[in-house]
Structure 1
Amino acid sequence: MLKTILATACIAALLPLAARADDDDDDGAAPAFGPAGLLSAGNKRDLPPVILSAGMPLADAPWELKSGTYYEFEIQGDGSQELALVGPGFFRAIWIDEIVVEGLEIRPPGLDSIEFDEAGEMEIGFVAIKPGRYYLMVPGSTGETQRLEITIK
């Protein structure tokens, strides 16, 4: 009973920390999180898609993310070649909410890499957690266009 009370008190004490995130808007006001907190619509940002295509760049520009913000992005494979995408450091610096493939929602405890054997799309929703510099890349490639640089602030 005492453990339950202490655990509840600790959770209640930590909840306001999620609402203290800095806001990048010009008005300087803190974001208005809804009942879902970090997962609320007001805290969600869409990222440009990652394109898996033989000889084509993964993305147009590096990503600059903010810790505590929820992001979604699509990975689009055109089927031109069997291609994988690795980024173990990045995948360990985020909390993956879900991966959606053809309407199927997957909620993995972690991820190391993905691979497209044929054309298709997947969407990944995540919360950026650990600040640092990371990457997603096609394994075995050496070209700069086959690597997406990611910074979490």
Structure 2
Amino acid sequence: MKHLPLVAALICLPLPALAQDTGFGPAGILSAKNKQDLEPITLSAGMPLTSAPWVLKSGTYYEFEIQGDGSQELALTGSDFFRAIWIDEIVVEGLEIRPLGLDSIEFDEAGEMEIGFLAIKPGRYHLMVPGSTGETQRLDITIE
């Protein structure tokens, strides 16, 4: 009985007053309105990974492709970056993988993978080819 005035007040409110407009669609932060595509990463012997660093916004969903040309066995490491994001899925040849975490990936031969993730923790991170020292073999990433 003591909650009756609160229930009565809620019933009298128009329905739109109860729903908050977040600007996202029905899927919330995973909706298409909150998704951005990033420049692909290219894994090729001696070639730059991307043309420019990535600047990401916390709370935004991103997708990118990694394209390996098979010129050499190449990997990408970036455990700090992978811990600063939530990985929704990794797609390899139509197979969807939903990992709890990731430390690195490696291409032993030519192929493609797509990674979808939500940027979470602001900071400066990088992905790099392990053992390399060249700036073109490193992708600097900032999450704002």
TM-score by length of 1: 0.80
What secondary structure is seen at the aligned counterpart in 1 of 2:33?
Answer: helix
Q: Select 1:113's aligned residue among 95, 104, 112.
A: 104
> 1:72 matched to which residue of 2?
63
1:43 aligns with 2:34: yes
Residue 50 of structure 1 and its aligned partner are, at CA, apart by 0.2
The offset of 1:131, in angstroms, is 0.0
- The answer for the alignment partner of 1:28 in structure 2 is none
Map residues 1-153 of structure 1 onto 2, 5 A cutoff: 19=22, 32-153=23-144
Cα displacement (A) at 1:86 = 0.3
Runs of 4+ off more than 3 Å: none
Residue of structure 2 equivalent to 1:6 = none
1:106-148 superposed Cα distances (whole Å, 9 cap, x missing partner): 0000000000000000000000000000000000000000000
Distance 2:48 2:60 in 1: 26
Normalised by the length of structure 2, the TM-score is 0.85
Q: Provide the identity percentage.
A: 84
Match of 1:23 in 2: none
5+ residue gaps, structure 1 = 1-15, 20-31
- 1:71 alignment partner, SS class: strand
